[in-house]
Amino acid sequence: MHSSTMKLKASELPGIMQTMTDMLRDHHQRHGDPAAQPTVRNIQKLETARIDIHDKVVLENERKTWRQVLRSNTLAVQQQSSDVQQNKTDILQLINSNTALAKRLEDMIAQRIEPLESHMNNLRGLIRRQWGCCLLISIVVVFLAMAVALLLQSNGYLGELQEEHGNRINKLEGSL
């Protein structure tokens, strides 16, 4: 076979080397040639080369596997990093939105509290004034009543009223 058309994969070499080793060993056993000592050395060299090639193939396959794992992990980390960045952006937007809402709510509460405080102050003032007026009127009425009673008593009119009232009561009792 022409060498340019023969393309071997590295994974096929251990099998080929094993086949060659087996063929040389078989040839040596069949012919039992005492001059075949170099063939035994060749078999040992082929066996060592086969083991080396097998180890290299295994290492190459492991390297490819680790490269794929590394690529996969790198892509996963990049995706996670992108997701984290997006989450960070979303969280910052939520914080800004919540801050704006809290400020608006604070302003609305302040707008409602200011008139209420004003009304409460007005009510307090009105109650103080009304209380003072009621107290003053009560004191004036009591003094007026006492003054009228004293005046009526000093004129003797109070006694006449009591006597007249008593007479009326007696008349009513008599008519019943």
Q: pLDDT tens, 99-137? A: 999 899 998 888 888 888 888 888 888 887 787 788 888
Q: What is the CA radius of gyration of the chain?
A: 61
Computed over every residue of the chain, the mean pLDDT equals 79
Q: What is the pLDDT of residue 88?
A: 92
Average pLDDT over residues 35-58: 72
Q: Which of 21, 26, 29 is nearest to 49 (CA)?
A: 21
Distance CA 122, CA 86 (A): 54
Token pair, residue 134, equals: 């009621």
Q: What is the pLDDT of residue 58?
A: 85
Distance CA 158, CA 137 (A): 25
Q: Which residue has the higher pLDDT, 60 or 166?
A: 60
Distance CA 96, CA 122 (A): 39
Band (pLDDT 50/70/90 cuts) for residue 152 is: confident
Distance CA 24, CA 33 (A): 12
Q: Which of 44, 52, 65, 39 is nearest to 13 (CA)?
A: 52
Do residues 39 and 23 lie in contact, with contact meaning Cβ atoms separated by under 8 Å? Answer: no
Number of C-beta neighbours around residue 17 at 10 A: 19
Distance CA 27, CA 21 (A): 10
Q: What is the pLDDT of residue 154?
A: 73
Q: Which of 2-11, 17-26, 49-58 has the lowest mean pLDDT?
A: 2-11
Check pLDDT > 50 for residue 4: no
